[in-house]
A and B are shown apart, each in its own frame.
Chain A
């Protein structure tokens, strides 16, 4: 190789399908576990969080309106893109965690494929026709909550992120994710995977920065419908966030609660029950 200067990547946020710097202009140094500097990542502010929620809200309706089949195709496409860049992600993960990581990337790809499969199945598994004593058809159908804020796990920057994110978007929610605070680089690179997977801009928004600074704004935000506290390690902060989320009636997933993938999918949906007079179900458009 020649002794050319390497072109280094600027790690930016991912908001509304674009890669902006933080509105505040701030950044912070990201290091390996032994202290070697890796790169500077944008240090998101509350206004970046606000913009991300705005972008997510705008994208959520059309995303939920897409066919389940298409959502599955897009998640599968993301898995393909990740597979194609497995080498790069293994390197980034190893730099971030200090451990060999090829296996973690492969599991992340498999996890995406797994949730891609759920997109067109969860509604039939969780919902269905209910027997009622009257001349009615009665159906129950799980629907996405809306905008879900996710604090991604701190120690598992890629697989943990996908585990938290995939069930949110599989059902038609939009997500605002705070990446691992000390290891945000794999997540920020994963945004590039999403951006090239035909995922509409704004469905996933990724912020890097301090959980304690950004998460309270998301927890108290009136336009956020769900809150995943999986990556909040400070128990006092988690309790505080849960309390402020209660003010705006959010669904909250507490830290440390693991579950089967269907439970995670169900967490970010709400049930809608529809009554139709029997014999007229095809004529009625939708309902209450």
Chain B
């Protein structure tokens, strides 16, 4: 959606948000993390999680060959396992991924706007976005200007997200808050609302490139923001935790949170994603375990 608010209005709304009860939030996340999901429910959760993965490779050493291999895995991860939601690459690899995924139903997501730091001039960030869309990206993962956010210039952050959203055209926009750099839960709540007011289709926790990535409490907080935002405006926004989610157990904890906080409406790849690379292999190994009854090992999944 295009935002109807001005920067000043959005900033004042965001500044008036109540603070976060950190102890309560962490206790709630820990509580939701203790649910035991077994057998048939676990099998269903694993397949659902596979279908929600943005299979990601964001390395300086990425080559067209590596991206094509990842795309092949995205379409057919293992035997009868479902395909993942999208392949997430750098803009220079978006065209390669788009070619490899054509007609498969798997989306191409491209990071843009000077990922991961975002410390380049706005016109460069916009050009980065437009070029990714032209290369065939269905989804754009942008980073917010943390420098501006942390110095209190919310209007500027708002304006930049809006500009990137306009540059996206039909592509869906995921706004990366980089919660590891926002320091406090209050900031995460403010940044979540600011991004949603500016027209984000998804809010995403992290780039995966800093020390602290997605954590359950932070993601839970963002889910609450998304829930409150829909209650307030009627607009549904997706959530994408990224970075540090490596095993099935963690992924299932996130799914439990989605169900408890957001409800079944969000339990679909259209509204919830995992930004991950090594998670897929662990999900596939757990899937094999459920199928054969034996523990599987890394020799039975691909090396990425």
Contact = CB atoms under 8 A, between A and B. Distances in A.
Question: How would you classify the secondary structure of chain A's contact residues: helix, strand, loop or mixed?
Answer: loop
Contact of B297 (A217, A223, A244, A247): A223
10 closest A-B pairs (Cβ-Cβ)? A223-B297, A222-B297, A220-B294, A222-B296, A221-B295, A222-B300, A50-B295, A222-B295, A222-B294, A221-B294
B295 A223 contact: yes
A40 interface: no
B298 interface: yes
B299 interface: yes
A223 B298 CA distance: 7
Contacts of B298: 57, 223
B299 A247 contact: no
Contacts of B294: 217, 220-222, 244, 247-248
A53 interface: yes
Interface in A200-218: 217
Contacts of B297: 57, 221-224
A224 B299 CA distance: 10
A248 to B, nearest CB: 7
B176 to A, nearest CB: 31
B73 to A, nearest CB: 19
A224 B296 CA distance: 9
Contacts of A221: 294-295, 297
Contacts of A220: 293-295
Interface of A: 50, 53, 57, 217, 220-224, 244, 247-248
A222 B288 CA distance: 10
Nearest to A217: B295
16 contacts: A57-B297, A57-B298, A217-B294, A220-B293, A221-B295, A221-B297, A222-B288, A222-B294, A222-B295, A222-B297, A222-B300, A223-B296, A223-B297, A223-B298, A244-B294, A248-B294
Contact of B299 (A53, A217, A223, A244): A223
Contacts of A223: 295-299
B27 to A, nearest CB: 24
Interface in B273-304: 285, 288, 293-300
Contacts of A57: 297-298
A222 B285 CA distance: 10
A222 B286 CA distance: 12
B278 to A, nearest CB: 14
Nearest to B293: A220
A53 B285 CA distance: 14
Contacts of B293: 220
Contacts of A217: 294-295
A247 B296 CA distance: 12
A224 B294 CA distance: 11
A247 B295 CA distance: 12
A51 B295 CA distance: 11
A50 B293 CA distance: 13
Contacts of A222: 285, 288, 294-297, 299-300
Nearest to B295: A221
Nearest to A219: B294
Contacts of A244: 294
Nearest to B298: A223
Nearest to B289: A222
Given A217-B294, A222-B297, 14 more contacts: A57-B297, A217-B295, A221-B297, A222-B285, A222-B288, A222-B294, A222-B295, A222-B296, A223-B296, A223-B297, A223-B298, A223-B299, A224-B297, A248-B294
Nearest to A220: B294
